[in-house]
Amino acid sequence: MSPNPEIVERAVDDPIALARRLLADGDATRARQIVDEALAARADDPAALCLAGSLELLAGEVERAQEHLVRALDIDPQNVEAHLELASLQARMRRFEEALDELSLALLYAPDNAKALFEMGNVRRMQGDIEGAIEAYRSATEKDPSLAQAYVELGFGLLSLRRYEEALEPLERGAELDPENFNGQNNLGYAYVRAEQYDRALEVFSRLCAQTPEWLLWPRLNYANALSHTGRLEESERVYAYMLQHEPNNFTAHWNRAHYVLARKQFAEGWSEYRYRLQVDDVWHRRLIPFAPWKGEPLEGKTLLISAEQGLGDQIMFASCLAQVIAPAKQVILECDHRLAGLFQRSFPSVRVIGSRQEAMPPWLREVGHPDYHTQTGNLPGFFRQQLSDFPRHDGYLAADPERVARWRERLAALGPGAKIGLSWRGGTRGTRRTFRSLRLVDLLPILSVPGLRFVSLQYGDCAEDLDTLRRETGIEVVHWPEAIADYEETAALCVALDLTVSVCTAVIHLNGGLGRPVWVMVPAVPEWRYGVEGDAMPWYPSVRLIRQAARGDWSDVFARVSDDLRQRFSA
């Protein structure tokens, strides 16, 4: 192939420009030859020295790279490129403060240099200063709105701080500027999932799967996850099956698939998949409890420690299996959320209950001696709930404080005649499907308008604005006692005193079910696995009734059924 005449001409006038062009095209060998020739002709050429340093750094020759770059700066202290390369070298050696010094000098001589700001963001991120990194990345995008990677890193930093909605704009811009950046696309899809914009997440991950080879499995894992969030469970299952065929030890795929299998009430297989949660890199699994794992060995004469995991509702649900380890064991030590400790101790008097906050290194470990075995509470169903017939019929396994119940009955009676109905209308937090299981209180007007009933709030969190809006717009008042919500012992007693509870999917369901109290659940069209994909019963709790949404986003039929059934049940 004949050399490009333009390049030949430029080589005569500016060999370093040619070397840069060759390096950008991937020909580092030829670039190195030209730089060596330039330095042989003029050893004090700062541009040649700077590029020589870059080439040495690429080759892994850190000391020689540093020599070239320091010499270039001795000759030309304002050489911005040399400062940038030296900063990159220092960062590689984890000399972060030195790297920041070099970047500060680069910005002193070139305040608008977006690359320097971008590299400063990278160094801040490596230091663990995510806020500082975000500030630097944002400044880089302001100086150079075409710098795609700065948008991607800015979005990733915001994701790291769980500022999901804020991360969307820079990630969308990064994807627009560089649609081939698969990591950026993946982060955008993840941000959509965490912001509960599942349809958009599905679009992103579907596109990623089309753009990447079939053997690349991580886009397919995210695609399957998005499919499940949008209710396309069978398609999601097929993708998981494909993944696990090619990567049998993909723990996240097993864990995600467990939710689908359990939702179909295929419990034996589901619990087998569910155990992989302990292998997934998630904060609530990283706990140091140094006792032998219980694998189902006989418990006669043995002490079993059961550690807590997940949220209040999960801990209540899994506690339904406790009776089957309490009976044979010499002693059972149960860790639970500190808010449940009193309720659990009363309900399981022979168990030693420890209330905690699920610390990574539990401070109470030194107090429990040397238990023979340890297991997580979420492992219990795998031993005792292998099929639907294993779920016992019960009238409640939790016991509220009788004195508290009596006091709440008096307060409810003081409200006047009519059935007293508990009400919870918001569930979850951002990123835990809150949009699927949360409503505005005013949306419940068809239910709240049923005559002759008194509604009592069981809603946790700040709900004063919801209650005020309802009162102002409709004249309907829902009674709210904050002290009943602040203490779970009081919440349990109030639930027992009520005639019925109507709620979205939240921990109140598990509390009522564990107490054996009647509760009607307004279930979204895409429910969590605990509620199954069909039917009006919940095997964990005989007192729970499920009223399912027919179409995602449309609650009108659910509201109509609940209001009609309330009229029929309490017509007298």
User: Among 299, 331, 338, 306, which Cα is nearest to 320's?
Assistant: 306
Q: How confident is the model at residue 215 (pLDDT cuts 50, 70, 90)?
A: confident
pLDDT surpassing 50 at residue 6 = no
Reading the block at residue 232, the tokens are 């396309």
Do 501 and 362 reside in the same domain of the chain?
no
Residue 96 CB-half CA count within 13 A: 11
**Torsion sign across C-alpha atoms 300, 305, 311, 312:** positive
Residue 502 pairs with which residues in a beta bridge?
A: 423, 520
pLDDT surpassing 90 at residue 55 = no
pLDDT surpassing 70 at residue 53 = no
Residue 127 domain-assigned?
yes
Do 240 and 206 reside in the same domain of the chain?
no
Residue 419 domain-assigned?
yes
Q: How confident is the model at residue 435 (pLDDT cuts 50, 70, 90)?
A: low
At residue 210's C-alpha, the angle toward residues 206 and 211, to 5°, is: 115
Look-up: residue for tokens 């396309």?
232
Q: Supply the CATH number for residue 231's domain.
A: 1.25.40.10
Do 157 and 298 reside in the same domain of the chain?
no
Domain limits for position 258: 211-285
Q: Please tell me the predicted confidence (pLDDT) of residue 485.
A: 94
Q: How confident is the model at residue 572 (pLDDT cuts 50, 70, 90)?
A: low
User: Among 447, 446, 453, 457, which Cα is nearest to 424's?
Assistant: 457
Do 205 and 215 reside in the same domain of the chain?
no
Do 10 and 113 reside in the same domain of the chain?
yes
Do 345 and 271 reside in the same domain of the chain?
no
d(CA 149, CA 140): 10
Do 273 and 410 reside in the same domain of the chain?
no
> Average pLDDT of 394-406?
98
Residue 309 pairs with which residues in a beta bridge?
A: none
User: 390, 413, 428: which is the final residue of a domain?
Assistant: 390
Helix, strand, or coil (residue 331): strand
The per-residue pLDDT for range 492-531, each reduced to its tens digit, is 999 999 999 999 999 999 999 999 999 999 999 989 999 9
d(CA 223, CA 204): 8
User: 189, 210, 231: which is the final residue of a domain?
Assistant: 210
Residue 396 domain-assigned?
no
Do 235 and 97 reside in the same domain of the chain?
no
Q: Please tell me the predicted confidence (pLDDT) of residue 129.
A: 95
* Structure letter (DSSP) for residue 208: H
Alpha helix segments (H runs only) across 265-399: 267-274, 312-318, 323-326, 341-347, 380-384
d(CA 280, CA 276): 7
Look at the chain and report how many structural domains it folds into: 4
Residue 222 domain-assigned?
yes
- Residues 148 and 179: beta-carbon distance below 8 Å: no
Do 218 and 365 reside in the same domain of the chain?
no
At residue 551's C-alpha, the angle toward residues 189 and 435, to 5°, is: 45
Instruction: Give the C-alpha distances (Å, rounded to integers) separating 337 from 40, 317, 341, 355, 441.
Output: 72, 13, 7, 5, 29
Reading the block at residue 194, the tokens are 């965490």
- Residues 280 and 378: beta-carbon distance below 8 Å: no
- State phi, psi for 373 to the nearest 5 degrees: -140, 160
Q: How confident is the model at residue 8 (pLDDT cuts 50, 70, 90)?
A: very low
User: Among 438, 526, 434, 430, which Cα is nearest to 191's?
Assistant: 430
> Average pLDDT of 193-197?
89
Residue 395 domain-assigned?
no
- Residues 252 and 221: beta-carbon distance below 8 Å: yes
- Residues 206 and 223: beta-carbon distance below 8 Å: yes
User: 210, 237, 253: which is the final residue of a domain?
Assistant: 210
d(CA 404, CA 410): 10
pLDDT surpassing 70 at residue 23 = no
Helix, strand, or coil (residue 344): helix
Q: Which residues of 477-548 form beta strands (DSSP E)?
A: 500-504, 519-523, 537-538, 541-548
d(CA 209, CA 305): 44
Residue 243 domain-assigned?
yes
d(CA 383, CA 92): 50
Give me the percent of the chain exceeding a pLDDT of 90. Answer: 72
Q: Please tell me the predicted confidence (pLDDT) of residue 21.
A: 80
* Structure letter (DSSP) for residue 254: H
- State phi, psi for 35 to the nearest 5 degrees: -65, -45
Do 205 and 233 reside in the same domain of the chain?
no
Q: How many CB atoms sit inside 10 A of residue 390's CB?
A: 15
Average pLDDT, the chain: 89
Residue 397 domain-assigned?
no
Helix, strand, or coil (residue 333): strand
pLDDT surpassing 90 at residue 88 = no
pLDDT surpassing 70 at residue 188 = yes
d(CA 428, CA 284): 17
What does the CA dihedral 345, 351, 353, 358 come to, rounded to 10 degrees? -130
Please state whether beta strands 500-504 and 419-424 pair in parallel, antiparallel, or not at all (unpaired). Answer: parallel
The per-residue pLDDT for range 112-126, each reduced to its tens digit, is 999 999 999 999 999
Q: Supply the CATH number for residue 300's domain.
A: 3.40.50
Do 508 and 551 reside in the same domain of the chain?
yes
The per-residue pLDDT for range 345-391, each reduced to its tens digit, is 999 999 999 999 988 889 999 999 999 999 999 999 999 999 999 99
Q: Please tell me the predicted confidence (pLDDT) of residue 3.
A: 45
Phi-psi region of 429 (alpha: psi -120 to 50; beta: other; left: phi over 0): beta
Q: Please tell me the predicted confidence (pLDDT) of residue 11.
A: 43
Q: Supply the CATH number for residue 555's domain.
A: 3.40.50.2000
pLDDT surpassing 60 at residue 12 = no
DSSP, residue by residue, 417-479:
SSEEEEEE---S-TTTTTTTS---GGGGHHHHTSTTEEEEE---S--HHHHHHHHHHH----B
Residue 453 pairs with which residues in a beta bridge?
A: 419
d(CA 306, CA 356): 13
The per-residue pLDDT for range 304-347, each reduced to its tens digit, is 999 999 999 999 999 999 999 999 999 999 999 999 999 999 99
Alpha helix segments (H runs only) across 247-388: 251-263, 267-274, 312-318, 323-326, 341-347, 380-384
Q: Sheet with 537-538: list strands edge to edge.
A: 453-457, 419-424, 500-504, 519-523, 541-548, 537-538
Helix, strand, or coil (residue 315): helix
Reading the block at residue 114, the tokens are 């977006």
Q: Please tell me the predicted confidence (pLDDT) of residue 302.
A: 97
More confident residue, 29 or 170: 170
Number of residues written out for the chain: 572
Please state whether beta strands 500-504 and 519-523 pair in parallel, antiparallel, or not at all (unpaired). Answer: parallel
d(CA 465, CA 380): 40
pLDDT surpassing 90 at residue 408 = yes
Do 423 and 298 reside in the same domain of the chain?
no
Reading the block at residue 174, the tokens are 């990064």
Q: Please tell me the predicted confidence (pLDDT) of residue 32.
A: 73
The per-residue pLDDT for range 146-185, each reduced to its tens digit, is 999 999 999 999 999 999 999 999 999 999 999 999 999 9
d(CA 259, CA 190): 19
- Residues 34 and 55: beta-carbon distance below 8 Å: no
